[in-house]
Structure 1
Amino acid sequence: MNYWQSFKEYLQIEKNASPYTVKYYLNDLEIFFDFLTAEGLSSLVDVDHRVVRLFLNTLYNRQLSRRSVSRKISSLRTFFRYLEREEVLTGNPFVQVKLPKTDTTIPGFLYQEELEKLFEVNDLTNPLGQRDQAILELLYATGMRVSECQQLSLEHIDFFIGTVFVRGKGRKERYIPYGKFAEIALETYIQDGRNTLLSKAKQSSDAVFLNNRGNPITTRGIREVLNKMVERAALTVHVHPHKLRHTFATHLLNEGADLRSVQELLGHENLSTTQIYTHVTKDHLRSVYMKSHPRANDY
């Protein structure tokens, strides 16, 4: 099967896709190529609606989720559209395939009381504690993705106006403001703990967040940082970086922020992606009702 490299370059250059997106597209493509090989098909010209239906049955037999199947269909639809454009093929066998309906799940988020426990567990007298506090404060203050947090450089933080520069999915760029708590945590870490960590490394780095050896921390390392905080706080909830992103969006909307502003802060391309956060907590609903309904309270 040819066109692998040219399709990869198309995703990287023309679609401006992130490394993660390219990785998943090519992984989906590899699964499809393996299927064609197993079926004895050596040419993409042989792929028709019958082959597509057989491929989908194979995916469902592997008990893949609807979301996973939907992504693979989208990946292959894009691949065959590219082949059409390059005049390799005259049709797209995936164009008529309907994406399976996926269940809409409400994102999990943390209540203020749970957050407060996390904010209190770090030892701010040592470098790692300062780093962990800065990570926690920044993730909650900005709603950035874990990959965006991991890629932050010192030059990306503007302490004068209180913003961070972020390069997100599809290499889209945005500035996100942060508040006083995040500012204090960042300044403490950068001026103190980070220098101690950096002294352990063999070479200099402009990455904001470093590991205990003074090298840039990984996304996995950030997840481990949060896991350890949860253990120290004795919380029974599972906390991951994306849950802090969910919490950021939910709390903003609950406090009256408009959907468009939250969309910009999160870096969502489509407003429909942000709308999943328009749910509100039961406590908030009750609070609004009790304050607003004329007959909610006794005289």
Structure 2
Amino acid sequence: MEGFKAYLINECHKADNTVIAYMRDIGAFEKFLKTRGGKDLLDCKDSDAIAYVYALSNDNKSRATINRKISSIRAFYDYEMGEGEIDVNPFSDIKSTRNDKRDIEYLTIEEVNALLEAPDDTPKGLRDRALLEYMYGTGARVTEVVRLKFEDVNLRMNITTCKDGKGEGRIVPIGSYAHKALVEYIDKAYNAIKGDLRTDGDYVFINFRGRPLTRQGIWKILKEYGRQIGIEDKMTPQILRDTFAVHMLQNGADLKSLQELMGFEDMSVGIAYLSVMKVRIRDVYKKTHPRA
């Protein structure tokens, strides 16, 4: 830490108060690491960085305070990388907290089951069931669903490629339920909806004019089934994506794996999902413990 302090003073020409703030922030993080198995600063991993920001959030620290601490600690690890002490900055994926915390809404397992059972066995129903199973089963963004082509889906290996607007993509597994729904849609409904045979370059989810579904079209489909089962207000593409994330965490997924599956770069998004888990655990405790 003394080397970093000298670096701030001599090379960065930071003011005295700024240097004091940097050292205080790093010292506080060092104390936090001691509570995690006696680690020192150079032992820090990504999971420690995530846990620290999560702890700051739970302590009701202001956004400005959290952002300052993240900036200080990231600068420290950038310095240590430059000195050859570490290979990776554990705070590289931790971005500043956003000005407004997004409320995360999600469906219960019972609501998801009702939703996925709602479509019928008509060509439209088979398409819609495949769409819903795919969205819930992969956590894909609605824009990624709109862009999905058959060349992006490998049903033999049970994987799909979710692509962003730049053509880059990430590989996501396809679960058994989504696989079954997609096969039924392709075998029994797709050609009838399109009015022609499909090719690898065709979009997977199409309307009855043979055109790819739009974001607005998918939104309307979700609202339609939401009305049928009485949860219209909770049915949006983002809520279905959030439901995927929360259910994964509830069933033991770690935050780093969730980040890779969902493709979010800002780890504060994942921390927000963890915050939902904490609220849920507290609510369950209050409802079930006799002395809560």
- TM-score bin, normalised by smaller chain: 0.5 to 0.7
Residues 273/234 of structure 1: CA separation in 2 closer, same or farther (3 Å cut)? closer
**2:231 — aligned with what?**
235
Q: 1:113 aligns with which of 107, 110, 114?
A: 110
**2:254 — aligned with what?**
258
C-alpha RMSD over aligned residues: 2.9
**2:140 — aligned with what?**
144
Separation of aligned partners in 2, 1:193 and 1:283: 40
Residues 199/275 of structure 1: CA separation in 2 closer, same or farther (3 Å cut)? same
Residues 200, 213 of structure 1: 8 Å contact kept = no
Matched position secondary structure for 2:102:
coil
Matched position secondary structure for 1:237:
helix
Post-superposition Cα deviations, 1:88-110, rounded to whole Å, max 9, x if no partner, equal xxxxxxxxxxx997231331111
AA paired with 1:172? E
Residues 250, 277 of structure 1: 8 Å contact kept = yes
Matched, 1:207 2:203: yes
CA shift at 1:262, angstroms?
Answer: 0.3
**TM-score if structure 2 supplies the norm length?**
0.60
AA paired with 2:204? V
Question: How many residue pairs get matched?
Answer: 194
**1:162 — aligned with what?**
158
AA paired with 2:236? H
AA paired with 2:101? T
Post-superposition Cα deviations, 1:239-265, rounded to whole Å, max 9, x if no partner, equal 111111110011111111000000001
Matched position secondary structure for 1:165:
strand
Post-superposition Cα deviations, 1:1-24, rounded to whole Å, max 9, x if no partner, equal xxxxxxxxxxxxxxxxxxxxxxxx
Matched, 1:172 2:168: yes
Residues 224, 232 of structure 2: 8 Å contact kept = no
**1:103 — aligned with what?**
100
Separation of aligned partners in 2, 1:118 and 1:102: 33
Separation of aligned partners in 2, 1:281 and 1:113: 21
CA shift at 1:175, angstroms?
Answer: 0.4
Post-superposition Cα deviations, 1:127-177, rounded to whole Å, max 9, x if no partner, equal 110010011000000000001001110111111221111112654310011
Q: Could you tell me which runs of 5 or more consecutive residues in structure 2 were left unpaired when the two chains were aligned.
A: 1-95
AA paired with 1:252? M
Post-superposition Cα deviations, 1:58-94, rounded to whole Å, max 9, x if no partner, equal xxxxxxxxxxxxxxxxxxxxxxxxxxxxxxxxxxxxx
Q: 1:280 aligns with which of 272, 277, 283?
A: 277
**Identical pairs, percent:** 32
**2:4 — aligned with what?**
none
AA paired with 2:266? N
Residues 175/243 of structure 1: CA separation in 2 closer, same or farther (3 Å cut)? same
**TM-score if structure 1 supplies the norm length?**
0.58
Q: More deviation in 268-277 or 281-290?
A: 281-290
**1:269 — aligned with what?**
265
